[in-house]
Amino acid sequence: MEVKVNKKEKCTTEDELQSLSKEELIDKIKQLELHKTQLKHILSRFQQTLIEDNEGKQKKKNRPFDFSKCYKRHIMLRFYYLGWDYQGFATQEDSIETIEYHLFAALKKVCLIESRETSNYNRCGRTDKGVSAFHQVISLDVRSKFRPEEQLQESCLAAELDYCSMLNRVLPNDIRCLAWMPMVNPAYSARFDCRSRTYRYFFPRGNLNIAAMEEATRYLVGANDFRNLCKMDVGNGVVNFVRSIDTVCIRSCQVDGKSDASYDMLYVELKGKAFLWHQVRCIMAVLLLVGEGKEEPSVVKELLDVQKNPCKPQYSMANYVPLNLYECLFNEKSIQSTGEEQVASDGGSDLREWIYNDENLRRTISELQGLWTKQSVKATMIREMLKTLQDKCAGHRPISDQAVLLTEGVRSKEYCPLLQRKRCESLENRIEHYAKKRRIEIIVKSNDSNAGGSNEPIQQGEGINTDDC
């Protein structure tokens, strides 16, 4: 069998053209002119198609959705998202890779809202870069098919717009709307009416001393000043770092099943009303040091004693990938209620049951299973490679460094205890610094309860309720 290779024709060289006769040159020019005419026709048809497409798009743009003809209703939407590839939840000026950007792009694309400014929008938690959520909730006003007086009727709820399916058709595949809740009170806020937020931080057992970590978590329960276990955001007016953690526990969630407990997966669960910027990641960094045996469990108690340790030791936070906003619980009655709204919802809860669409839920589960399959296959492949390598050094001390890389930053050869490290600036110095730069304003209030009538300086923004994990 012979194979002929069709080589691409080369351009005619100057020497080849000079060797052609007058008749051959005339024929070649005629061929080129014919080819040029054909290309002009093709280009003309292509340009006409583009013009028609643009005119069609322009006509669509000139016919915006008329929200004045629509009814509105106040709802809460429940989302999950895998935040590893995003720059956080909240919208940013210099990036579109935020969860909130994609949410509002989807809400406007399916014409559920006209704009963020007119949607009465609130978010439950503002998760940081790389952090995920299984139970993120927002409250807002959206388009409805029914009059306000009919919206809470069972038949209308069943026939209402399928908000979750509409959004999921245009959202990225790692952001999904799970359910929606009809609200009685139009002032109900996903942010201010949230009574508790639960975070989970997942980690491998490795060689960690879980009993020592559990002992350290006991110091975290209750109201404490967490200025040494967070990143202080004084520049944005946050100067009160007292927060209350209701419960902290460590639980197992996945057993390796191959007689090597160091590959078991666990999580630390923290439940509270509000959390400070990077609070959970700073807490986890210290707990991991306790688990590695580098710190005693009592170091948590020492860091919470701000009279004894007013300045935070310098240490790296735990990695953001394992952190998940796992559950949010809400007040039965809104604290935002006015007299008129209270009459409308008097005698019962402002909350209703979450409404799930069975088809949307099944589709979401299937998509999550697909994501799990991809990640699990990769993890299993790496696990088998590790098993083969560990069999080669069976006679040596087993290596169990699975949890080591969860702590960010450079690891020094000789460990320096936390309380002996260089300290960050004190809260008072930071307040003075930002006051001089006019980022915050110091307001002096009279304290009538003091016998001497002394004045006590407080800062603008004191007591701000943040949730920036």
Report how far residue 193's alpha carbon sits from residue 341's, in angstroms, rounded to the nearest whole number: 15
Contacts (Cβ under 8 Å, ≥6 apart) of 218: 248
The phi-psi region of residue 73 (left if phi > 0; otherwise alpha if psi is between -120 and 50; otherwise beta) is beta
Number of Cβ within a 10 Å radius of residue 119: 20
Alpha helices in 224-316, H assignment, sequence order: 279-291, 299-304
The beta-carbon contacts of 363-370 under 8 Å, at least 24 apart in sequence, are 363/168, 364/168, 364/176, 364/178, 367/173, 367/176
CA–CA separation, 137 vs 197, rounded Å? 11
Question: Residue 407: helix, strand or coil by DSSP?
Answer: strand
Q: Which of 15, 85, 128, 246 is catalytic?
A: 128
| Complete DSSP assignment for 275-296 | B-TTHHHHHHHHHHHHHTTSS-
List the structure tokens of 51: 């013009």
How many CA within 13 A on the CB side of residue 25?
A: 9
Within 8 A by CB and 6+ apart from 293, the residues are 209, 212
- Is 225 a residue of the active site? no
The separation between CA 45 and the C-alpha centre of its own chain, rounded to angstroms, equals: 47
The residues that are catalytic are: 128
